Amino acid sequence: MVEPITYKDAGVDIDTVTGALRNVAPDVASTHNASVLTGIGSFGALFRPDFGGMGDPVLVSSTDGVGTKLMVARRAQRFDTVGADLVNHCVNDILVMGAQPLFFLDYVAAGHFGPGKLEELLSGFINACRELSLPLIGGETAEMPGLYAPEDFDLAGFIVGVVDRPHVLVPERVRAGDMLLGLASSGLHTNGYSLAQKVFFERAGLDVDARLPGLDVDLGAALLAPHRCYLNPLRDLLRDEALHGLVHITGGGFTDNIPRILPEGLDAIVDRDAWTVPPLFAELARRGPVERDEMDRTFNMGIGMIVVVAADASERVIAQLSEAGEAPVVMGHVEAGDRRVRYVGAEAL
């Protein structure tokens, strides 16, 4: 007589997952607001939006992954920050359309979570959502041995926000003469990690505990610095007529991202001398070596968000951003052209 087989015998240990979800449930609930109508565990999450004051509400949604930054997390065995990367990346992606976020959902999959790892991963989402008063209203967690190798895992995030249609940041708002104001990034954010790891870990033979000149934390911590979210400093600007555009510097760097908000007939001029590129990027370029053009089309170079403003309002906006704790740099302007980025200034870092 063959012993009967059960779901648990098939290698699916749902106790780790359900235990972790139970542990973090109060923290997840702490991100909720009056618009959230259901608790955790229903088939779908109910959210009653408040479109107060909007004549023509438009939903703005986005999904993203963390990419190969997860490999740095695995190498450093530190899992509590990558969820924040995803939340902040997604918020920035809809922010540049003019939208404020309504809610967030996460997807977490792994070959094997092991003790504490899932809680760590979820804490990244929770902390970032709490910081932004953004409800984390749903998610899916899957332990799938056989589909993922034991140490492998992946995260995806999903965000929905809203903008009143007249305030959508369409490329047509951008004009010749507009100024580009750069806001500081916290590091590589979530882009260029395949190249960065190749340079630091393979070519240079370093590991996460290496100390690099100019960095006050080790290489692992510098590379894992969470993606910055620009919602709070920019929230008050979103309905400002002088705001003509926002550019989130993600994969493709300045070179590929700035043209996404340029209308026909305009170029962006970026002055490489306008700010000091942070040491992490300079070390990357030097140790690769990676040429400046390649750097500018791969990394954010210390500028994670570009605010495009009417020239005559730039001083006021700079003052307002400074008030909000930013140190904006005038990094360029818009002029006649062909929807490209033209660089001026020195190539050297």
Where in 28-87 is the site for a second copy (CB under 8 A)? 37, 41-49, 56-65, 67-68, 70-71
Indicate whether 298 belongs to the interface with a second copy (CB under 8 A): yes
* In the complex, least distance from residue 104 CB atom to a second copy, rounded to whole angstroms: 10
Residues 94-113 that bind a second copy (CB under 8 A): 94, 96-97, 99, 102-103, 105-107, 109
Query: Residues 280-305, buried b or exposed e (16+ Cβ, 10 A)?
Result: bbbbbbeebebebebbbbbbbbbbbb
Indicate whether 289 belongs to the interface with a second copy (CB under 8 A): yes
Cβ-based nearer residue to a second copy, 71 or 242: 71
Cβ-based nearer residue to a second copy, 84 or 318: 84
The whole-angstrom separation of Cα 287 and Cα 91 is 33
Which among 21-29, 195-203, 206-214, 302-310 is the span making contact with a second copy, rule CB under 8 A? 195-203
Cβ-based nearer residue to a second copy, 109 or 311: 109
Angle between the 69-76 and 82-95 helix axes, to the nearest 10 degrees?
Answer: 160
Indicate whether 294 belongs to the interface with a second copy (CB under 8 A): yes
* In the complex, least distance from residue 18 CB atom to a second copy, rounded to whole angstroms: 11
* In the complex, least distance from residue 216 CB atom to a second copy, rounded to whole angstroms: 26
Q: With contact defined as beta carbons under 8 Å apart, do 61 and 158 qualify?
A: yes
Indicate whether 5 belongs to the interface with a second copy (CB under 8 A): yes
Which among 133-141, 218-226, 231-239, 338-346 is the span making contact with a second copy, rule CB under 8 A? 133-141
Residue from the set 188, 290, 309, 341 that interacts with a second copy by CB under 8 A: 290
Indicate whether 194 belongs to the interface with a second copy (CB under 8 A): yes
Could you give the angle at the alpha carbon of 48 between the alpha carbons of 229 and 230, nearest 5°? 10
Residues 253-272 that bind a second copy (CB under 8 A): 260
Q: With contact defined as beta carbons under 8 Å apart, do 227 and 299 qualify?
A: no
Which among 114-122, 161-169, 212-220, 316-324 is the span making contact with a second copy, rule CB under 8 A? 161-169
Cβ-based nearer residue to a second copy, 72 or 318: 72
Cβ-based nearer residue to a second copy, 61 or 232: 61
Backbone angles phi and psi of 334, in degrees to 5: -110, 135
Helix (H, G, I), strand (E, B) or coil at 253: helix
* In the complex, least distance from residue 316 CB atom to a second copy, rounded to whole angstroms: 26
* In the complex, least distance from residue 86 CB atom to a second copy, rounded to whole angstroms: 11
Residues 163-192 that bind a second copy (CB under 8 A): 165, 168, 192
Indicate whether 115 belongs to the interface with a second copy (CB under 8 A): no
Q: With contact defined as beta carbons under 8 Å apart, do 71 and 192 qualify?
A: no
- 9-17 long-range contacts, CB within 8 A, separation 24+: 11/145, 11/146, 12/143, 13/143, 14/143, 16/113, 16/114, 16/115, 16/118, 16/143, 17/113, 17/118, 17/141, 17/143
Indicate whether 124 belongs to the interface with a second copy (CB under 8 A): no
Query: Residues 207-226, buried b or exposed e (16+ Cβ, 10 A)?
Result: ebeeebeebeebbbbbbbbb
DSSP string, 51-67: -TT-SSEEEEEEEEE-T
Residues 309-338 that bind a second copy (CB under 8 A): none
Considering all CA atoms of the chain, what is the largest pairwise distance in Å, rounded to the nearest integer? 85
Q: Is 332 left (phi over 0), alpha (psi -120 to 50) or beta?
A: left
Cβ-based nearer residue to a second copy, 88 or 318: 88
- The separation between the first and the last C-alpha atoms of the chain, rounded to the nearest angstrom, is 73
* In the complex, least distance from residue 22 CB atom to a second copy, rounded to whole angstroms: 15
